[in-house]
Amino acid sequence: MEGLAAAIVGRAALGAVFGKAFAELYDTVKDVGSKVVMFKSVLISFKSNLDLLAPVVEEIRRLNQELNRPEEETNSLIKDMNDAEHLIRTCSEIQDWNKLFQAFYVKKLTDLDKAIVRFCKVHMQAQNRRDLLQILEQLKSIREEKKSPIMKIHGLSCSVPGPPDFTVGLDEPLKELKMQLLKEKQQQLVLTAPGGCGKTTLVKMLCQDEQIKCKFKNKIFFVTISKTLNLMIIVQRLFHHISGKAPEFQCDEDAINQLRELMTQIGSNPILLILDDVWSGSEFRLEMLKLNVPNFNILVTSRTTFPGFSFTYNLKPLNDEDAMTLLRHFASLQDGISHIPDEVIKKIVRGSGGFPLALSVNGRSLCGKPVEAWDSRARKFSIGHSILDYSSDLLECLRKSLEFSDHEVVLKECFMDLGSFHEDQRIPVLALIDMWAELYKLDEDGIDAIANLYELTTRNLANLVMTRKDASEINNYYNEDYVSQHDLLRELAIFESRQGPEGQRQRLFMDISGNSLPSWCTGQDQQPINARLLSISTDESFLSTWCNIQAPKVEVLVLNFQTQNYSLPEFVDKMDNLKVLIATNYGFFPTELRNFQPLMSLPNLKTIRLEKVSIPSLCKAPVLLKSLKKISLFMCNIGQAFENCTIQASDALPNLMEINIDYCNDLVELPAVLCDVIPLKILIITNCHQLSTLPKEIGKLESLEVLRLRSCTDLSELPESIRSLKKLRILDISDCLSIRHLPKNIGELRKLGEIHMKGCLSLRNELPPSTTNLEQLKLVICDEERAKFWEPIKEILTNLEVKVAEKDINLAWLFKP
Which of these ranges, 63-67, 125-129, 524-528, 688-692, has the smallest mean pLDDT? 125-129
635 contacts 590 by C-beta, under 8 angstroms = yes
H or E element at residue 189: strand 188-192
Read off the pLDDT of each residue in 657-682 and give the average, rounded to a whole number.
Answer: 92
Read off the pLDDT of each residue in 151-156 and give the average, rounded to a whole number.
Answer: 48
pLDDT of residue 459: 76
User: How far does Cα 477 stand from its chain's mean position?
Assistant: 23
Pick from 6-20, 106-120, 151-165 the range whose average pLDDT is largest: 151-165
Residue 675 has pLDDT above 70, yes or no: yes
- 618: CB partners within 8 A, 6+ apart: 596, 641, 642, 645, 652
Residue 745 has pLDDT above 90, yes or no: yes
CA distance 400 to 362: 9
User: How far does Cα 245 stand from its chain's mean position?
Assistant: 14
Read off the pLDDT of each residue in 744-764 and give the average, rounded to a whole number.
Answer: 94
pLDDT band at 71 (very low <50, low <70, confident <90, very high): low
The tens digit of pLDDT for each residue in 607-616 reads 999 999 998 7
H or E element at residue 257: helix 252-265
pLDDT band at 145 (very low <50, low <70, confident <90, very high): very low
Read off the pLDDT of each residue in 560-583 and give the average, rounded to a whole number.
Answer: 93
SS3 651: helix
CA distance 528 to 551: 6
635 contacts 658 by C-beta, under 8 angstroms = no
CA distance 252 to 657: 45
Give 513's DSSP letter. Answer: B
Q: What are phi and psi of 694, to 5 degrees?
A: -105, 135
The tens digit of pLDDT for each residue in 173-190 reads 999 999 999 988 888 999
CA distance 635 to 815: 11
pLDDT band at 307 (very low <50, low <70, confident <90, very high): confident
Compute the C-alpha angle 196/199/205, nearest 5°: 125
86 contacts 112 by C-beta, under 8 angstroms = no
pLDDT of residue 513: 80
pLDDT band at 23 (very low <50, low <70, confident <90, very high): confident
Residue 420: closest CA among 438, 412, 410, 432: 432
Rounded percentage of the chain residues whose pLDDT exceeds 90? 38
Q: Given the DSSP bridges, would you call strands 482-484 and 427-428 parallel, antiparallel or unpaired? A: antiparallel
CA distance 38 to 427: 72
Read off the pLDDT of each residue in 437-443 and give the average, rounded to a whole number.
Answer: 92
The tens digit of pLDDT for each residue in 248-257 reads 888 889 999 9
Read off the pLDDT of each residue in 572-579 and give the average, rounded to a whole number.
Answer: 94
Q: Burial code of 101-116, b = ≥16 C-beta within 10 A, e = fewer?
A: ebeebbebbeebbebb
Pick from 116-120, 637-641, 802-806 the range whose average pLDDT is largest: 802-806
Q: Which one is predicted more confidently, 102 or 129?
A: 102
Residue 288: closest CA among 247, 241, 251, 243: 251
Residue 682 has pLDDT above 50, yes or no: yes
Which of these ranges, 58-62, 427-431, 527-531, has the smallest mean pLDDT? 58-62
User: How far does Cα 782 stand from its chain's mean position?
Assistant: 32
240 contacts 152 by C-beta, under 8 angstroms = yes
Residue 788 has pLDDT above 80, yes or no: yes
Residue 585 has pLDDT above 90, yes or no: yes
Residue 510 has pLDDT above 50, yes or no: yes
Q: From residue 31, how far is each of 6, 9, 98 by CA, in Å?
A: 15, 17, 22
Q: Given the DSSP bridges, would you call strands 754-756 and 779-782 parallel, antiparallel or unpaired? A: parallel
Q: Which one is predicted more confidently, 412 or 119?
A: 412
530 contacts 505 by C-beta, under 8 angstroms = yes
pLDDT of residue 384: 46
pLDDT of residue 815: 46
**Backbone angle region of 525, left / alpha / beta, with phi > 0 → left and psi within -120 to 50 → alpha:** alpha
229 contacts 424 by C-beta, under 8 angstroms = no
Q: Is the dihedral of CA 534, 535, 539, 543 positive or negative?
A: positive
pLDDT of residue 472: 55
Hey, which residues does 224 pair with through a beta bridge? 276
Q: Given the DSSP bridges, would you call strands 271-278 and 296-302 parallel, antiparallel or unpaired? A: parallel
CA distance 66 to 74: 15
pTM to 2 decimal places: 0.68
Mean pLDDT of the chain: 81
Residue 236 has pLDDT above 50, yes or no: yes
Q: What are phi and psi of 83, to 5 degrees?
A: -65, -40
Pick from 49-58, 355-364, 625-634 the range whose average pLDDT is largest: 625-634
Q: Burial code of 21-34, b = ≥16 C-beta within 10 A, e = fewer?
A: bbbbbbebbbebbe
CA distance 274 to 159: 10
Q: Which one is predicted more confidently, 473 or 206?
A: 206
Hey, which residues does 683 pair with through a beta bridge? 659, 707
pLDDT band at 386 (very low <50, low <70, confident <90, very high): very low
Q: How many residues does the chain have?
A: 817
SS3 563: coil
H or E element at residue 9: helix 2-12
pLDDT of residue 104: 63
Q: Burial code of 662-696, b = ≥16 C-beta within 10 A, e = fewer?
A: bbbbebeebbbbbbbbebbbbbbbbbbbebbebbe
Read off the pLDDT of each residue in 21-27 and give the average, rounded to a whole number.
Answer: 72
pLDDT of residue 2: 43
pLDDT band at 385 (very low <50, low <70, confident <90, very high): very low
255 contacts 246 by C-beta, under 8 angstroms = no
Pick from 346-350, 369-373, 703-707 the range whose average pLDDT is largest: 703-707
- 503: CB partners within 8 A, 6+ apart: 520, 527, 528, 529, 530
CA distance 762 to 737: 6
- 642: CB partners within 8 A, 6+ apart: 617, 618, 619, 649, 671, 673, 674
pLDDT of residue 688: 94
pLDDT of residue 482: 93
Read off the pLDDT of each residue in 672-700 and give the average, rounded to a whole number.
Answer: 93
Read off the pLDDT of each residue in 84-107 and give the average, rounded to a whole number.
Answer: 63
| Residue type at position 663 | Y
The tens digit of pLDDT for each residue in 618-658 reads 655 667 888 999 999 999 998 777 766 667 777 888 999 99
Residue 456 has pLDDT above 90, yes or no: no
Q: Which one is predicted more confidently, 268 or 42?
A: 268
692 contacts 668 by C-beta, under 8 angstroms = yes
CA distance 554 to 572: 10
Rounded percentage of the chain residues whose pLDDT exceeds 70? 76
536 contacts 422 by C-beta, under 8 angstroms = no
Residue 413 has pLDDT above 80, yes or no: yes
pLDDT of residue 86: 73
| Residue type at position 160 | V
CA distance 400 to 495: 12
Give 251's DSSP letter. Answer: S
Residue 555 has pLDDT above 50, yes or no: yes
pLDDT of residue 668: 92
pLDDT of residue 347: 86
pLDDT band at 807 (very low <50, low <70, confident <90, very high): confident
CA distance 608 to 435: 10
Residue 750 has pLDDT above 90, yes or no: yes
